Structure 1
Amino acid sequence: MAGVVGVVAEYNPFHNGHLYQLQQIKEMYPGETIVVAMSGNFLQRGEPACLDKWTRTRQAISNGADLVIELPVLACVQPAERFADGAVSLLAALGATRLVFGAEHQEYDFQAMARQVHHVHGQFHKYDESYARSFQAAITREIGHPVDQPNDLLGLAYAKANYRLGEPLELVPIQRVETSYHDETLHQGAQIASASAIRKNFADDQQATPAKKELLAPYLPADSLTDLLTERFVSWDDFFPLLRYRLLSSQIPHLHQIYGMTEGIEYRLQEQTQRLPGDLTFEQWVKKVKTKRFTYTHLARLAVAVLLNISGAEVKDYNQAPYVRLLGFDRQGREQLAMVKKTCPFPIYSRVSQDDKKKQLAVDYRAGKIYQLFNGSEQDLKRAPLYFN
């Protein structure tokens, strides 16, 4: 019986680097089913997706994925290790036997490193540096070398999650090629650019569509390029006025209940937002409210939680009762679903009913409605999983 390969992704947007990864999987494991756990309309790095989850699902399946499920927003607002727990547990529940991910150092034995450092998750009380910096220093001491590149850190988080589950998945890192995760430059003559570079150059380029098409064509599959040029492109610039409103109008006790609010940061967020000029961008705001204890990514995720009014209690409820939300599949993906439906320990949702939107899917529904304010397309009600024959 053919195996199942799991992938954790954002596809923000789906580009040639993602295509390369799926092609590598098909070459290494021909005939195996590829299941993608994809962040929905808000991402773990603390930003709205530039294209909605349905568009990105279509791109993924058109380019080689067999089954795409949504990583709920309650997983995506959590730090990397808890996010990884959610992704790995869902993939394992759907029958994945391998987890393939991009890494800056393909040669690392991530599972062996996870066994070394699985106990490193405690509290760090050095108030002149961030938790992330303290955590990385502890990891370096245990392993003997730094693990500080974005994809390597995620790989280690997946490995630790896999360890906690009893190592049901074989971890398969694939070397990240041609560009770094945070590189915002479109390199002439290259075929792969980071998602950050594609988004930045798309947003910054004020030229007409034909010029943008020529600029971005080398780095994206044709269908992804068409979507980027024709669908509503969404960014923090759209949502930032709503975030400011939430911070300015909320009482401190309410802000304190938002997931991720610690060490009294709610006072600083509100006070700085009250003082700062009205024409500030989201990126400028993050720099103004930042302190040594909080990374930019932590604050961006916190901003998403504020925007969507996500409480710590809601996150706790999700962690205790995860679920699977189907976004799309092809014939092979449908066959895999049929095989695991009776054994999957989590409920599987293919549609959102009027009842679901008030219960387990309430926060995803709320996030979809807020995203819809700028995307203009219904994200949940009456949306069935995309099917590709």
Structure 2
Amino acid sequence: MSKLEAVGIITEYNPFHNGHLHQLNVIKEKAPTACIVVVMSGNFLQRGEPACLDKWTRAKEALANGVDLIIELPPQACIQPADRFAFNGVNGLASLGVDYLVFGAEHAEYDFMNYASQVQGLKGEFKKYNQSYAASIQAAITQALGHELAEPNDLLALAYAKANLKLGSPLKLQPIQRIQAGYHELALKAGQQIASASAIRSNYQQGRLAELRTYVPHETYVDLSDNSLVFWDDFWPFLRYKLLTTTPKELANIYGMAEGIEYRLVQKANELAHGSSFDDWLHAVKTKRFTYTRLARLAIAMLLNLQTEDITSYNEAPYFRLLGFTKRGQEYLNAKKKQFTYPLVTKVTQKDAKGPLAVDYRVGKLYQSLTGKEQDLKKAPLRIF
């Protein structure tokens, strides 16, 4: 590989843990001179939840552990169903001139680009009112491939491959075998050093901070010790207030609203007992047509007042945010920046906050209301040399 060749990762780092470090070490072993470019979700994530630590803290952890260049995927691009999230991430890496996309997979031996060619354009049969869209698509994929593709990282890998194919295959895809911990596993396994991000967050909530030292790099452990992590229940009072003071008609333009679900969302919020949690509301509004993840993502869209027109505007004029870089990342920026397809925002001014970056700014302010940490104004990209 040449000095300026780049390897890309699409991720959340929620938080950065030893599994992520393993992935970076594998990349460095195979491509020691390549620039590692990460496109990372910001303060709210694809599956409909707030990030446990703010984007700057997570970016710092990544840069300290081997990432060279870290870019934020704006909220309009990451609070999306898997296929659209994957497309925005792949499009971002391609626009930055990245050569390879590396990702974890439960079955790294699968030829995901071949699978993508077999399922590209599948719509599923979304006619039964007792079946979710996700279940319909899953059934169609299984039929097309001749076997089930059900593990979460495998499904996301397929979404990356479909996006890459749609864009003309600008990236070479390289799966890495996921090891030790499954995506949804909540236990910390003795004798191992890798746990899922879900397990790390869950054990933090149970007050087992000291036990997490084995499963995260030093920088992450310090951040877990020094910060109060953010979870959905921290934002639930904001969302419940919105649901209690907004009519279904006013919610109709929120991105992702469909089939009149806004009436049920408001109704169930009004019926909840005092002291009810976000999960209580989520279980109350659940239907066979709407998965928990889809409802959680819709809840984030309501919380952020994310309108359909906000998504349309972003799709028409994509941009990305520069969060930080190392010396190698700076060299890559200097060599490639004139070739970037889309704007790479390095700072947010008051004018930006009232104009093209209005969504980013209000999203940052909402997150800041819990942490007290500025997310946009007067924030410069991190430099770790």
Tell me if both proteins adopt one fold, taking TM over 0.5 as the criterion.
yes
Letter in 2 for 1:181: Y
2:165 paired with 1:163: yes
Task: Indicate the residue corresponding to 1:31 in structure 2.
Answer: 33
Task: Indicate the residue corresponding to 1:287 in structure 2.
Answer: 283
Task: Indicate the residue corresponding to 2:369 in structure 1.
Answer: 373
2:10 paired with 1:8: yes
Instruction: Select which of 348, 353, 356 maps to 2:349.
Output: 353
Counterparts of 1:122 and 1:184, CA distance in 2:
32
Cα deviations across residues 1-25 of structure 1 (Å, max 9, x unaligned)? Answer: 3310000111101000000000011
Asked if 1 retains the 8 angstrom alpha-carbon contact of 2:97 and 2:339, the reply is no
Cα deviations across residues 52-111 of structure 1 (Å, max 9, x unaligned)? Answer: 000000000100000000011001211110111110011011111100000011111001
2:55 paired with 1:53: yes
Counterparts of 1:340 and 1:60, CA distance in 2:
22
- 5+ residue gaps in structure 2? none
Cα deviations across residues 318-355 of structure 1 (Å, max 9, x unaligned)? Answer: 11111020000001111111222212121111000111
Task: Indicate the residue corresponding to 1:209 in structure 2.
Answer: none
Task: Indicate the residue corresponding to 1:187 in structure 2.
Answer: 189
Instruction: Select which of 193, 202, 205 maps to 2:204.
Output: 202
2:120 paired with 1:118: yes
Asked if 1 retains the 8 angstrom alpha-carbon contact of 2:83 and 2:159, the reply is yes
Task: Indicate the residue corresponding to 1:233 in structure 2.
Answer: 229
2:198 paired with 1:218: no
Q: Higher mean Cα deviation, 378-387 or 341-350?
A: 341-350
* SS of equivalent to 1:355: helix
Moved over 4 A (4+): none
Distance 1:32 1:238, change over 3 A: same
Alignment of 1:91-170 (within 5 A): 91-121=93-123, 124-170=126-172
Cα deviations across residues 182-205 of structure 1 (Å, max 9, x unaligned)? Answer: 111111221100000110110122
Q: Higher mean Cα deviation, 2-11 or 334-343?
A: 334-343
Give TM-score scaled by structure 1 length: 0.97
Q: Higher mean Cα deviation, 155-164 or 343-352?
A: 343-352
Alignment of 1:250-261 (within 5 A): 250-261=246-257
Task: Indicate the residue corresponding to 2:90 in structure 1.
Answer: 88
Task: Indicate the residue corresponding to 1:208 in structure 2.
Answer: none
Distance 1:278 1:339, change over 3 A: farther
Counterparts of 1:333 and 1:123, CA distance in 2:
45
Cα deviations across residues 202-251 of structure 1 (Å, max 9, x unaligned)? Answer: 0122xxxxxx4431111011110010110231111110010101111112
2:42 paired with 1:40: yes
Task: Indicate the residue corresponding to 1:175 in structure 2.
Answer: 177
CA-based RMSD = 1.0
Task: Indicate the residue corresponding to 2:335 in structure 1.
Answer: 339
2:264 paired with 1:262: no
Q: Higher mean Cα deviation, 169-178 or 337-346?
A: 337-346
Question: How far off is 1:123 after superposition?
Answer: 6.5
Counterparts of 2:79 and 2:152, CA distance in 1:
17
Say how many residue pairs are matched: 383
Counterparts of 2:249 and 2:104, CA distance in 1:
41
Letter in 2 for 1:343: Q
2:321 paired with 1:319: no
Question: How far off is 1:122 after superposition?
Answer: 5.9
Counterparts of 1:317 and 1:121, CA distance in 2:
25
Task: Indicate the residue corresponding to 1:297 in structure 2.
Answer: 293
- 5+ residue gaps in structure 1? 206-211
Share of identical aligned residues, percent? 56
Question: How far off is 1:379 after superposition?
Answer: 0.4
Counterparts of 2:17 and 2:318, CA distance in 1:
29
